[in-house]
Structure 1
Amino acid sequence: MATRILPAAGDADAVRSITTLLSQLPDAEPLAPVVDSTQLLDALARLAAESVDELPEVVVVHERIGPVPALELIRDVALRFPAAGVVLVTSDPGPGLFQAAMDYGARGLVALPLGYEELASRVQAVAQWSAGVRRHLGSGGDVFTGAGGTVVTVSGAKGGVGATLIAVQLALAAQASGRSTVLLDMDLQTGDVASFLDVQFRRSVADLAAINDISPRVLADAVFRHDSGLALLLAPGEGERGEEVTDRAARQIVAALRSRYEVVVVDCGAQLGGAGAAVVEVADTALLVTTPDVVAVRGAKRAVRMWDRLQIRKAEETTVVVNRHTRSAEIQPPLIRRITGTALAATAVPANFKELQAAVDAGRVHELDAKGAVKQALWALAGELGLAGAPESDRKGHGRLRGDRGSVSLRRRRDGGG
């Protein structure tokens, strides 16, 4: 099936450039271009009046569209026609504009001058996202369906094993690779993401719990933009408010996030309630962090067995990450894999608290030394998980997740779940 693409640009040269490249894309069906914001909204309204399926899968908006500024126009399109994915074409593809475009509802950004490969890649990704949204809309699902983003949960075998640090660094690595990324703190009573990144915040995940229709604007109001460019949806400052986040609310919130971001990293903490369990269940990849000591490994085994009993996730669909690893430790990763029956991340994170202490104490874990062994391992882990490009020196031997059944299985839902 051809991908329908509607270009919107304010001058003739931009229109020619965009339509020429779009016409070369495989299975693409460029529609007649529109030259201003009014024409674009009117055209989409006419098509939507017939049915959602009549909308183009992709809308390509040039930065010089008018009279409504491009970002405001993108916000209007995202709010009124959420099944159409928007790609912004801009001469300023820096992180500031990238984050602003994502906040306003864009699904991708392409730099000027236009290149075939970049345009083709973004259009294909947005078209796939749009197709997923429409499938769910057609079956009565919510607008936010999770077709576009990858969800990775990070849980601790017990408190203090380093799950939050790993979640933060995975999110930063994904963000640095050019993927729109949000970090969700679902450790609802004792979440420390805000402390690790030294942020003061007003809104939290609890503010979304009672909202049945999480619109892009409502979501944007709850998300905190960190100096690093990372989007944060934080645990409530008052731990008792965590009870407001039910398992149903958690599913809705994650679905909304994965419809707006390419990568959703969730810190689930070590105490798994109903909301956290719901997120682990629907995740594409569920990580369980342990340290190589008897107490933590026993905790990992208990967690895996509990998830299996509650039909949250099978052992072989869970991936253990070994943190604070040393070659001299009596308990080595292969033994942990056998004890837990899980897959095992090929990347073990070395023990080096000295490298971390200053950054953790200052709440600046986003400023870890790039040459440090811990950060290199964590970013290699992100590459192993497909969240980011791993450093060249780390790619050999880290091609997949080790486990009794080979590479890690992705999402599994029980009947009626998620």
Structure 2
Amino acid sequence: MATRILPAVGDPETARSVTALLGQLPDTEPAQPLADSTTLLDTLARLAADSVTDLPEIVLVHERIGPVPALELVREVALRFPATAVILMTADTSPALFSAAMDAGARGLVGLPLSYDELAARIRATTDWARGVRRHLGADAELPGGPGGTVVTVTGAKGGVGSTVIAVHAALAARATGRPVALVDLDLQSGDIASYLDVQFRRSVADLAEIHDISPRVLQDVLFNHETGLGLLLAPAEGERGEEVGERTARQIITALRARHQVVVIDCGTQLTGAGAAAIELADVAALVLTPDVVAVRAAKRMVRMWERLKVRKPEDTVAVLNRAVRGAEIQPPLIERITGTRVARTTVPARFKDLQPVIDSGRLHDLDARGPVRQAIWGLAGELGLVTGTATPVPAGRRHRGRRSG
């Protein structure tokens, strides 16, 4: 049986060299090199969605791949697709890098410029490991791997549109199905999920900023276990500490949460930070909340255009959510779709602030009346977004990591 090899090579010259050498190896089935981490992760997710047995035995990662740095890409592939072995191609074969690569989950290194003998030996050894793992796990669809938990981001087109209320109750709806759910506050300077849920906390997302390898134990120490069963990762109480949480930290946190939770809901606030951009890029579903007024619609249009310019997410891959909807209002979903270029969720949330005010003021948002139209609408929205059924329907399969510029 031929060994399937998928190279991810950011440098055209190295890509040609890799293609030539792989073509000479016996009993191998090399694919054409992929030029960036975005395409690699999309390809692996698509293959895993069809059948995890379709995943390649080996992925080759070039040291200059992007936008996700090589070691972070190794870690993400190893976590999300554990039956696929990763080999790092690098000019730096020092013991320090070797150790870092092994810690990230690589099965080995090959030096640059490539040598046929070294590459062949590493491919043979790694193939034996990959096949052994698959025999141990079984050859059917029960193989672990695939994209992991569903990640949904909730962003406000502007302040005061109700994105946090929607994020909290979307997470609660998912939790009501019995699945492990994490709710993350990435509104780093002014996030207030803790107040909405009456939480006194010491640890926050900022405590993960200096940690290079976020292990399950480290993550568990920072998550707050709420009475509803949600695992909360909260924004720092001191807003200035939000600057400590950058894109790299956000990527690591989301990868770790995705591996341990079936659903991850992230409140990204209204300001685009590096961490928030990474979350929106990585998300299976990106929801953009707005209200039926001209100012909010214009803000939504500016937001999706900025995401598109920065290559964070395309408008058509964004789901607009209409909050505080009023019958007879001039601004309705078809108009929002036409102006913003997004897809508007079929479920709209009605304007019933009198139902929300008591639970918001008391810090008991989770006690919102289950029979009321606001909670029923948001929980219905959660189903539409795939948080209840586990199938994220509004976004095409494989829609992840569109390739935002790094750094």
Band the TM-score falls in, shorter-chain normalisation? 0.5 to 0.7
Please name the residue that 1:100 is paired with. none
Q: Give per-residue Cα distances to partners, 1:152-197, cap 9 Å, x unaligned.
A: 0000000000000000001111111111100000000000100110
Cα separation, 1, equivalents of 2:285 and 2:369: 27
Name 2:220's counterpart in structure 1. Answer: 220
Residues 120-156 of structure 1, C-alpha deviations (whole Å, 9 max, x = no match): xxxxxxxxx9771343756669469983111100000
**CA distance 1:131–1:340, shift in 2 (3 Å):** closer
Task: Verify the 8 A CA contact 1:316 1:408 in the aligned structure 2.
Answer: no
Distance of 1:148 and 1:313 partners within structure 2? 20
Conserved? CA contact 1:182–1:232, under 8 Å? yes
Relative to structure 1, the CA distance from residue 372 to residue 408 in structure 2 (aligned partners, 3 Å threshold; closer, same or farther) is farther
Secondary structure of 1:148's counterpart equals coil
- Residues 1:210 and 2:243 aligned together: no
* 1:414 corresponds to 2:363: no
Instruction: Measure how far apart 1:334 and its partner are.
Output: 1.1
Summarize the Cα distance change of 1:408–1:375 in structure 2 as closer, same or farther, 3 Å threshold.
Answer: farther
Match of 2:229 in 1: 229
Q: What amino acid is the match of 2:302?
A: R
Alignment match, 2:13: none
SS of 1:351's equivalent in the other structure is: coil
Match of 1:132 in 2: 81
1:340 is aligned to: 340
Q: Distance in 1 between matches of 2:250 and 2:154?
A: 15
Match of 1:309 in 2: 309
Q: Which residue identity is paired with 2:293?
A: D
In the alignment, the residues of structure 2 paired with residue 216 and residue 137 of structure 1 have an alpha-carbon distance, to the nearest angstrom, of: 21
What is residue 296 of structure 1 aligned with on the other side?
Answer: 296
SS in 2 for 1:265: strand
- AA paired with 2:178? G
TM-score by length of 1: 0.63
Contact 1:181–1:263 under 8 Å retained in 2: yes
> How much does 1:235 deviate?
0.3
Superposed CA deviations along residues 289-320 of structure 1, whole A, max 9, x for unmatched, are: 00000111100000000000001101101110
The match for 1:255 is: 255
Q: CA RMSD in A?
A: 2.9
Cα distance in structure 1, aligned partners of 2:80 and 2:156: 35
Where does residue 328 of structure 1 map in the other structure? 328
Partners of 1:407 and 1:251 in 2: how far apart? 22
**Tell me, what secondary structure is at the counterpart of 1:363?**
coil
Q: Describe the shift of the 1:178–1:417 C-alpha distance in structure 2 as closer, same or farther (beyond 3 A).
A: farther
Q: Shift in Å at residue 385 of structure 1?
A: 1.2
Q: How far apart, CA to CA, are the structure 2 residues paired with 1:408 and 1:321?
A: 20
8 Å contact kept, 1:136–1:142: no
Describe the shift of the 1:218–1:346 C-alpha distance in structure 2 as closer, same or farther (beyond 3 A).
Answer: same
Name the SS of the counterpart of 2:182 in structure 1.
Answer: strand
d(CA) in 2 for partners of 1:161 and 1:229?
A: 26
Could you tell me how far apart the structure 2 residues matched to 1:134 and 1:142 are? 15
**Structure 1 residue 265 corresponds to structure 2 residue 254:** no
Task: Output the CA distance in 2 between the equivalents of 1:284 and 1:136.
Answer: 24
How far apart in 1 are the matches of 2:334 and 2:319? 13
Tell me how far apart the structure 1 counterparts of residues 405 and 302 of structure 2 sit (CA, whole Å).
25
Amino acid at match of 1:304: V
Instruction: Provide the C-alpha distance between the structure 1 equivalents of 2:295 and 2:309, rounded to a whole number of angstroms.
Output: 21
Q: Does the Cα contact within 8 Å between 1:146 and 1:256 map onto a contact in 2?
A: no
Tell me how many residue pairs correspond in the alignment: 282
Deviating 4+ runs (over 6 angstroms): 406-409, 415-418
Take 2:105 and 2:360, find their aligned partners in 1: how far apart are those partners? 38
Residue identity matched to 2:202: R
AA paired with 2:274?
Answer: G
The structure with higher relative contact order (CA 8 Å, sep 6+) is 2
- CA displacement at 1:323 relative to structure 2: 0.3
CA distance in 2, matches of 1:241, 1:335: 39
User: Which residue of 2 is the match for residue 197 of structure 1?
Assistant: 197
TM-score, normalised via structure 2 length: 0.65
Q: Quote the Cα distance in structure 2 between the aligned partners of 1:351 and 1:363.
A: 20
Which amino acid in structure 2 is aligned with residue 352 of structure 1?
Answer: R
The question of whether the paired residues in 1 share the 8 Å contact of 2:80 and 2:148 is answered with no
Structure 2 CA distance for aligned equivalents of residues 161 and 350 of structure 1: 12
Distance 1:131 1:272 in 2: 27
Q: Is the 8 A contact 1:317 1:409 kept in 2?
A: no
In structure 2, the gaps of 5 or more residues are 2-51, 53-77, 89-100, 107-144
Is contact 2:310–2:405 with CA below 8 Å preserved after alignment? no
Task: Tell whether the 8 Å contact from 1:285 to 1:318 is kept in structure 2 after alignment.
Answer: yes
Q: Is the 8 A contact 1:146 1:258 kept in 2?
A: no
Aligned-partner residue type, residue 82 of structure 2: V
Q: For residue 245 of structure 2, what is the amino acid of its counterpart?
A: V
CA distance in 1, matches of 2:368, 2:206: 30
Structure 2 counterpart of 1:152, one-letter code: V
Say if 1:276 and 1:400 are closer, same or farther in 2 by CA, change over 3 A.
Answer: closer
Q: What percent of counterpart residues are identical?
A: 61
CA shift in 2, pair 1:143/1:266, >3 Å: farther
Q: Encode CA deviations 1:316-345: one digit per residue, 9 max, x unaligned.
A: 011100000011211111101110001111
Q: CA deviation at 1:212?
A: 0.5
Q: Deviation string for 1:85-117 (max 9, x for gaps)?
A: xxxxxxxxxxxxxxxxxxxxxxxxxxxxxxxxx
Unaligned segments of structure 1, at least 5 residues: 2-56, 58-128, 391-398
